[in-house]
Amino acid sequence: MKIYHFRTLNPEAKAIVLPILQTENLSEDLRQIAEKYEINFAFLQQDFKADPKEVQTFYTSKNQKIILLGFGKKPDSSEVIRIFRTLIHQYQTKLPNELSIDLTQLPESWIEWASNGCLLGTYNIKLYKTETKAKAPLLSEEGVLNIISDSDSIEKLLEKGKATAETQMQIFDLMNAPANKKSPLTLVKWALASGEKYKYSVNVLEKQQLKSQKLEALLAVGQGSEHAPMLIVMEYRSPQATKTIGLVGKGVTFDTGGISIKSSSNMHLMKSDMGGAAAVFGAIELAAKLELPVHLVGIVPACENSVDGKSFKPSDVIGSYSGKTIEVIDTDAEGRLILADGLSYLVKNFKVDAIVDLATLTGSCISTLGYHAAGLFSNNDTLAQVLSEVADQTGERLWRLPLWDVYKEDLSSDIADVRNYSGKPMAGAITAAKFLEVFIENHPQWAHLDIAGTAFGDAEFAPQRAGTAFGIRLLVEFFGKYH
């Protein structure tokens, strides 16, 4: 599907989408549409209320297909994107090979959101299906999507929406790939290919280098797997950059829970346990692709947490890159262990103004916030406020939870510097964040995002849960707002 932009709508367009907001002027808006396309206003007013995702289709005397698309009262960017995405995905077989979306009466930001949502609607999750079906006309190489707006920024906004969708769909594939198709080496190859294409540096520490540099927590988690753990270090630097932001993403390609094995009922979903890494990959690629004026350092500790005779065990005391010793209470609390080495590696080897780590870390966060928001923990109020404001704008919601020192006692160990799990069935997301705080070396601007409930969820294109690419749009907008 090709995307073009025009300042005015072609009166001969085959099919036209008219996005409609549920405002006080809805009746007048519908009256104008009825007059323009010569249809019965009373029927239109009765049948169409502009509810979110509501679709009303009619044909004009000129055989034009008009699609009224409802957006509700005050949709945020993620809702606008989702509605366009749903339209393209669910109605693709009913749409002709050319579709025009008239955004002339809407804010220019809708240009980015519409192009992003429409492209996401073309995503096909059927990665390993052997039977292929012919693409719908609009989704074929001959398909054309026309975005209509008189904004002077239409080309720039259109390109941003398109570039974002292309990266997000790559991340969908990475997240949705099963364990036997995704190893730490898979993540390495993805990062190397992206870095080569978009001109940012990628360095990889393999097993022997991890040993020589004593990234012992990462090594411990990965020692039960046939796939060696690796540390991926990415750096994108714009000549116009004034700030340096460090990103750390949890890259567990599959998590059995290790010796503290998970229940079998949902273990298959643990192919998504590299959602933090996926967000970091996507954000750095997109920043490089859009040539954003920022300096980024991305760290992804990548491994697989498997059950084996060589697996690390509860009661083990392991080292870490920071030099601190860790008592292992639960091998299913492995994400914080590899993040500990990732965070320490970042702060010891790079000078960054702020740190944001992302991880599908705790079921506790899902119990607290469900699947609608990620947990936000930060030692800096200004950083937390900027992230929260950006989250509200992008619809990738965050909710701040406390980092009070009273929770430190839950991580006290008799025989090591710290233990990786409190052993208590409460405050799990908070104590995990407190554990990570030990390894930031007192950096004054750090935020931890627990994205366990948001990285893998419901989607229009999948009857079951699938990758959401949560965090990419959030981080990219954050880069522009952080000063």
Q: Residue type at 24? A: E
The answer to whether the annotation marks 24 as part of a ligand binding site is no
Q: Which two tokens stand for residue 350?
A: 């790079």
Contact 356, 472 (CB under 8 A): no
Q: Which two tokens stand for residue 90?
A: 């669910």
In angstroms, rounded to a whole number, what is the distance separating the alpha carbons of residues 130 and 105? 44
Query: Which among 351, 346, 349, 288 is positioned nearest to 479, based on CA atoms?
Result: 288
Contact 182, 253 (CB under 8 A): yes
The total of other beta-carbon atoms located within 10 Å of residue 400's CB is 15
How far CA 247 is from CA of 214, 276, 296, 300, 434, in Å, comes to 21, 10, 7, 8, 18
Q: Residue type at 149? A: S
The answer to whether the annotation marks 250 as part of a ligand binding site is yes
Query: Which among 283, 299, 302 is positioned nearest to 194, based on CA atoms?
Result: 283
The answer to whether the annotation marks 334 as part of a ligand binding site is yes
Q: Is 473 a catalytic residue?
A: no
Q: Is 214 a catalytic residue?
A: no
For residue 446, give the 3-state DSSP assignment: strand
In angstroms, rounded to a whole number, what is the distance separating the alpha carbons of residues 437 and 434? 5
**Planar angle of CA 368, 372, 376, nearest 5 degrees:** 60
Q: Please tell me which residue in 214, 262, 400, 408 is annotated as part of the active site.
A: 262
Q: Please tell me which residue in 82, 182, 289, 336 is annotated as part of the active site.
A: 336
b (16+ CB within 10 A) / e for 340-379: bbbbbbbbeeeebbbbbbbbbbbebbbebbeeebbbbbbb
In angstroms, rounded to a whole number, what is the distance separating the alpha carbons of residues 449 and 386? 13
The answer to whether the annotation marks 14 as part of a ligand binding site is no
Q: Residue type at 285? A: E
Contact 186, 253 (CB under 8 A): yes
The total of other beta-carbon atoms located within 10 Å of residue 193's CB is 13
Query: Which among 78, 83, 88, 79 is positioned nearest to 1, based on CA atoms?
Result: 88
The answer to whether the annotation marks 458 as part of a ligand binding site is no
- Give the annotated binding-site residues for Mn(2+): 250, 255, 273, 332, 334
- Give the annotated binding-site residues: 250, 255, 273, 332, 334
Q: Which residues are catalytic?
A: 262, 336
